[in-house]
Amino acid sequence: MTIDPMLPLWLLVLLAAALIGFCAFAAAAAPRGGRLMWLGRAAMCLALVAALARPGAGAVAVASANAEVDVLFVVDTSASSTAEDWDGVEPRLDGMRADVAELAIAHAGARFALITFDDTAVQRLPFTTDASALAQAMRILVPEDPAYSSGSSVGAGVELAEEVLESAIDHDPERLRVLYYLGDGEQTAERDRESFAGLADLVQGGAVLGYGSDRGGRMADPSPWSSDGYLVDRQGAEARSYPDRDALAAIAGELRVEYQHREAGAAPTPAPIDPARGVADGGTTTVFPLYWAFALVVVAWMLVEAGRLIGASGELRRAREAVEW
């Protein structure tokens, strides 16, 4: 339980002592039949002081408008983003573009930023409320050229995402932050992937969106020397990319967000936002107030007093009429 007193605490204690002391003195001086009323008045005084202390219990998240939210998209543009197994034979990147557009609508009014990664990470868009700038940034994305790739890590964007989020916190700590990770989870770099756990306390919500089918997809080869426009492996066979759902689920676990494996034809589910999570400013949460319960006690006793006054007034009027008669 917490309190948020309307008056300084010392003044509330002094007020309570004075009121209870007066009620105790009056009860001692009152005839036996009137002492019960003074006990009730003492209880009312205690309830009044308790209400002024504004007690609360638990924690309730305050709903926040999208205008108070920063949404960061971290998008995989490695060679596997060209794998053609989205909606049949479309590139996975097309699915990511469609989902970013849907999520931008769901978070209308928010600020958006975009990071892409393959073997390195790049911030393509700083935080902006211009959703059309986000759409344009997604539209012109070009996947990594496999001819110059040394392998990609699914966690290549972690360090840059941390920098962007921490900068957003420093600039405006009261805003809430949401992170969407979009990728297939395929690790081709010869190193352990980076952990996302350090980002978990920097956001108040998010989701990991996974792309790719179990049958895999062949990947486009932009090289002019390609025989059929698709990548081949070292044996000359068609290279195919397969999603790593376990890796994506692990990333979601580290971020403490939901994992959604995406399919064409269904919109992504916008992430729930928990203002009480992480390092958001404490002003975004509140406690369940209890002062009203004590205020009801005060009101109830005042009704009792009003009833007694009305009754006494009636008796006085009847006595006066009897004397005049």
pLDDT confidence of residue 159: 97
pLDDT confidence of residue 283: 43
Best CA proximity match to 76, nearest among 162, 154, 190, 21: 154
Distance from C-alpha of 274 to C-alpha of 202, rounded to nearest angstrom: 12
Cβ proximity of 292 and 182 under 8 Å? no
Integer angstrom CA distances of residue 233 from 77, 145, 223, 274 = 20, 15, 14, 45
Report residues of the chain scoring pLDDT below 50. 60-63, 280-285
For residue 141, count CB atoms less than 10 angstroms from its CB and return exposed for 0-12, middle for 13-18, buried for 19 or more.
middle
pLDDT digits (tens, 9 = 90+) for 249-275: 999 999 999 999 999 999 999 999 988
Residue 297's H or E segment, with its range, is: helix 291-324
pLDDT confidence of residue 295: 92
| Residue 177, token pair as written in the block | 């932050």
pLDDT confidence of residue 134: 98
pTM given for the model: 0.67
pLDDT digits (tens, 9 = 90+) for 35-49: 888 898 999 999 999
Percentage of the chain with pLDDT > 90? Answer: 63
C-alpha angle 196-260-280 in degrees, rounded to nearest 5: 45
For the residues of 271-283, what is the DSSP string, one character each? Answer: PP--TTSTT--GG
Distance from C-alpha of 290 to C-alpha of 2, rounded to nearest angstrom: 10
pLDDT confidence of residue 183: 97
